[in-house]
A = this chain, B = another copy of it.
């Protein structure tokens, strides 16, 4: 079993308006985040606007990230398609490109029943050798992973992780207590990582970690050392920045914040819209307030 753990930022996808990837800034961001101590990188999560990218764009982004990371930290790339076969094909190509793990994102159109959800994730896992992390996001898609499906999927050897985006500790508790020998939890960030760490998570994958990498690592270390009270105070302090990410749409907000920090990642992909001038100003003030 692999031992991914710690803070894995969901990388934004810096795009030109002609649909090409802004390679230089993506490489800079990778270096910057590794310098700040993050433990891994996750391109093509929700914050990475994966749903807004074509396959060639997705592939190019993963190529750049793997190359830029130079093995310093593991890269777990997101794959997603409504069809099992196409998602599996993406996973295989990413493995050939050298990723260390696959974040398997469920994409649905017709509502899926549990056996179909199982089939989808199982197909992806069987198509690669590397570790796979299960991921669903109930904020954006109707389908949820039940305990029973997670339990069955965890029997597939290379399904080693689950990324929980719900922040519902009631759903995580049984996974943490009954399946902890066969699947490890990555938390969402925001208000919850310390609690999920306390439940036994090994880290978190999150968009905000792009702009607060050092702070995220500090919080992670407090959790690892079981300094819960100190960690709680620190998590509260970081909360203001998270509240602004909840207020605005995730990807546009992280891209705006990175632009403020000097990374020319560009605008979100239309029809997503960049933050307005006033929203950017508000975001700037919040970032200053928490010394970012």
A interface list, Cβ under 8 A from B? 19, 46, 49, 51-55, 81-86, 107, 109-112, 115-117, 119-120, 123, 140, 167-170, 173-174, 176-177, 190-192, 195, 198-199, 226, 228-229, 232, 236, 239, 243, 246, 249-251, 269-273
B82, A51: Cβ atoms under 8 Å?
yes
With a CB–CB cut-off of 8 A, which chain B residues contact A49? 109
B173 and A239 within 8 A (CB)? yes
Q: Nearest Cβ in chain B — how far from A210, in angstroms?
A: 16
- In the A-B complex, list the 5 residue pairs whose CB atoms are closest, starting with the nearest: A51-B109, A170-B191, A116-B271, A52-B83, A119-B271
One of B84, B107, B228 near A198 (C-beta < 8 A): B228
Known contacts A191-B169, A228-B228, A239-B177; decide if A53 and B19 are in contact (CB<8 Å).
no
Alpha-carbon gap, A111 to B273, bound state (A): 12
C-alpha gap A239/B177 in the complex (Å): 10
Q: Tell me if A273 and B177 are in contact (CB < 8 A).
A: no
**Please, which residues of chain B bring their CB within 8 A of the CB of A82?**
51-52
Would you call B140 and A169 a contact (CB within 8 A)? no
**CA separation between A271 and B80, bound complex, in Å?**
13
| A243 to chain B: closest residue by CB | B174
- Which of B120, B195, B236, B249 sits near A110, CB closer than 8 Å? B249
Across the interface, do A19 and B110 meet the contact criterion of CB distance under 8 Å?
no
Instruction: Enumerate chain B residues within 8 angstroms of A51, measured Cβ to Cβ.
Output: 82, 107, 109
